[in-house]
């Protein structure tokens, strides 16, 4: 659709210096920071509130107020744990697999009203082992996230096609594209962490990644070998 009647600049990226182990370490660091900054702080507040309640046990009105605040902190902590747990392994991905999880992701993005996401995805599951399925899910999510952050697109078409040996995932959007030379520059900089993660996952999946810049739109194409 977008590629018709336009000249294109095609660039393919197949390797990167970031291994699957390095990407996993980056994710562990991010999650550890979330636990430390979010849950750690809530538990400190909860401890201080309970200590304050103990010191003021003779004042039932103040103690009740403190305990109500502590209860609210516990509820907030439970919600934060749920969010972090879902960040590690989304419930839909764990229970139903890649396709339902990707569809759910697209539906969630559409609720923002920032971009209109449409998808064309075959029914059933692909011949991927569980670890690769998880990697592919996060790779898809990171590509969409980058499009949302940087392209200023209003529409995004996600298409997945499977043949005998490969899985092809195409992201067509009407926003600003990016070239391979810029990708390489950003991947060497600290601000390119998200891009480094994308390239590392592509390498971990033994796949290839192509950026195609059209006249008024762009697309990103992933090829992932199947088992």
Tell me the pLDDT band of 95, cut-offs 50, 70 and 90.
confident
- Is residue 59 located within the same domain as residue 161? no
Is residue 1 assigned to a domain?
no
Is residue 17 assigned to a domain?
yes
- Is residue 139 located within the same domain as residue 181? yes
Is residue 4 assigned to a domain?
no
**Residue-level pLDDT at 94:** 83
- Is residue 144 located within the same domain as residue 129? yes
Q: Report residue 83: phi and psi, to 5°.
A: -65, -45
Looking up residue 187, the CATH number of its domain turns out to be: 3.30.565.10
Nearest alpha carbon to residue 14 among 227, 226, 173, 222: 222
Task: Work out the number of other CB atoms within 10 angstroms of the CB of residue 192.
Answer: 17
Report the distance separating Cα 147 and Cα 172, nearest Å.
Answer: 10
Is residue 127 assigned to a domain?
yes
In contact, 136 and 205? CB cutoff 8 Å: yes
pLDDT in tens, 43-91: 888 888 899 899 999 999 999 999 998 898 898 888 888 777 776 778 8
- Is residue 72 located within the same domain as residue 180? no
**Residue-level pLDDT at 197:** 77
pLDDT in tens, 7-54: 444 445 544 445 555 666 666 666 776 676 678 778 888 888 899 899
Instruction: Name the residue range of residue 143's domain.
Output: 9-22+91-225
Q: Average model confidence (pLDDT) for the chain? A: 80
- Is residue 137 located within the same domain as residue 53? no
Nearest alpha carbon to residue 143 among 97, 104, 86, 105: 105
- Is residue 158 located within the same domain as residue 215? yes
- Is residue 79 located within the same domain as residue 155? no
pLDDT in tens, 159-201: 999 888 889 999 999 998 876 667 667 766 655 567 777 888 8
Residue holding tokens 């419930």? 91
Domain boundary (72, 88, 104) is at: 88
Nearest alpha carbon to residue 143 among 89, 96, 202, 185: 202
In contact, 154 and 105? CB cutoff 8 Å: no
């Amino acid at each position: 659709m977008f590629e018709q009647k336009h000249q294109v600049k095609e660039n393919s990226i197949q390797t990167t210096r970031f291994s699957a182990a390095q990407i996993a370490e980056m994710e562990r660091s991010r999650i550890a920071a979330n636990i430390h900054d979010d849950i750690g702080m809530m538990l400190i507040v909860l401890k201080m509130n309970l200590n304050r309640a103990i010191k003021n046990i003779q004042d039932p009105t103040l103690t009740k107020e403190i305990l109500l605040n502590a209860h609210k902190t516990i509820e907030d902590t439970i919600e934060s744990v749920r969010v972090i747990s879902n960040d590690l392994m989304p419930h839909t991905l764990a229970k139903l697999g890649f396709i339902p999880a990707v569809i759910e992701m697209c539906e969630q993005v559409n609720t923002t009203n920032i971009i209109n996401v449409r998808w064309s995805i075959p029914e059933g599951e692909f011949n991927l082992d569980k670890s690769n399925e998880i990697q592919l899910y996060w790779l898809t999510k990171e590509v969409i996230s980058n499009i949302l952050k940087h392209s200023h697109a209003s529409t995004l078409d996600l298409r997945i096609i499977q043949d005998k040996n490969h899985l092809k995932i195409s992201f067509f959007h009407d926003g600003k594209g990016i070239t391979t030379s810029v990708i390489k520059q950003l991947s060497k900089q600290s601000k390119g962490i998200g891009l480094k993660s994308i390239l590392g996952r592509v390498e971990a999946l033994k796949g290839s990644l192509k950026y195609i810049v059209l006249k008024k739109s762009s697309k990103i194409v992933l090829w992932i070998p199947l088992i």
